[in-house]
Amino acid sequence: MWDSLIVQPIINLLLVFYKFLGRETIVAVALVTLIIRLALSPLMVRQQKTASKQKELKPKLDKLQEKYKDDREKLAQAQMELYQKEGLNPMGGCLSIFIQLPLMIGLYQAIIRALAATPLRLLALSEDIYTWIPSLSTLIPLKSQFLWLDLALPDPYYVLPLLVVATAWYYQGLIAPPATDAQTEAMNKQMKLMLPLMTGFFAATYASGLAVYFLISNLVGILQYFLFRRHYLHEEEETSSAA
């Protein structure tokens, strides 16, 4: 089920791109990443919306905190009511992680299986290729070398992992929700450090094809952030001027 719904479609998409884009695996991986990121754009917009709404609600939340400072239950209830009234789901931002994670694992598996570094993997690949797409088998084995990289193996010089950490750190800084108190700020700082280090660890430990995915994913995310942010600022300005 997992294979037929997630991994095999990605493998075959990789093969089709590989076939038509100069038989460069890195280009095929980059394009698949781009498509996945674009497909996740609506979630990104939602995440941005949640973040900006949370910022708008800060004064009201502060008032509630002041009002119910001695009753945590009532405070929680009042906050929930406020969120409901404003049509905000505070956990909405997590949805993108829930959806992105299976795709990330699927893409990683697809890269490893498509590059098939060992005979057992190559043999298994024969089952993953769609026979109804003509001549995909003629592409096997895929070229795994790109500059100093073997995409099926980790980057020996850690260039890609470092780029992944840098872009992930910057991206995390952009998308973190606004800090409304000292503790949120501390958490933001923690996340800004933890997530880049974790993705950097993946990029350094696993196939460099995955590092390519992380890097392109981060770059597209940064670009999307600025595009959508501008869009929202514009929207906010329009709303306030209309008011």
Q: Using CB under 8 A as the criterion, which residues of the chain lie in contact with another protein when the complex forms?
A: 61, 72, 75-76, 79, 90-91, 93-94, 97-98, 101, 104-105, 108-109, 112, 118-120, 122-123, 126-127, 135, 137-138, 140-141, 177, 180-181, 183-184, 187-188, 190-191, 194-195, 198, 202, 205-207, 210
Nearest distance, CB of residue 103 and another protein, angstroms = 11
What is the Cα–Cα distance from 14 to 20, expressed in whole angstroms?
A: 10
**Beta carbon of residue 235, minimum distance to another protein (angstroms, whole number):** 24
Report how far residue 96's alpha carbon sits from residue 93's, in angstroms, rounded to the nearest whole number.
6
The nearer residue to another protein, 42 or 190, going by C-beta atoms, is 190
Cα separation of 188 and 190, whole Å? 5
76: tokens are 């929680």
3-state SS, residue 149:
strand
- Quick one: tokens of 93? 């931002």
Q: How far is the CB of 138 from another protein (least distance, A)?
A: 5
DSSP state of 69: T
* DSSP secondary structure letter of residue 92: T
Structure tokens at 105: 């694992």
Q: Which two tokens stand for residue 4?
A: 């037929």
CB of 187 to another protein, least distance (A): 5
Pick between residue 58 and residue 234 the one whose CB is nearest to another protein: 58
Smallest distance from the beta carbon of 178 to another protein, in angstroms? 11
Complex with another protein: residue 35 or 140, whichever CB lies closer? 140
What's the closest the beta carbon of residue 72 comes to another protein, in angstroms? 8
Compare residues 185 and 238 and give the one whose CB is closer to another protein: 185
**CB 60 to another protein: min, Å:** 12
Closer residue to another protein, CB minimum distance, 84 or 190: 190
Contacts of 126 (CB under 8 A, 6+ apart): 137
> Among residues 77 and 230, whose Cβ is nearest to another protein?
77
Nearer to another protein, 97 or 227 (CB): 97
Give the DSSP per-residue string, 163-194: HHHHHHHHHHHHHSPPP-SHHHHHHHHHHHHH
d(CA 84, CA 233): 23
Amino acid at 66: E
Token pair recorded at residue 229:
């942010």
Give φ, ψ of 37 to 5 degrees: -65, -40
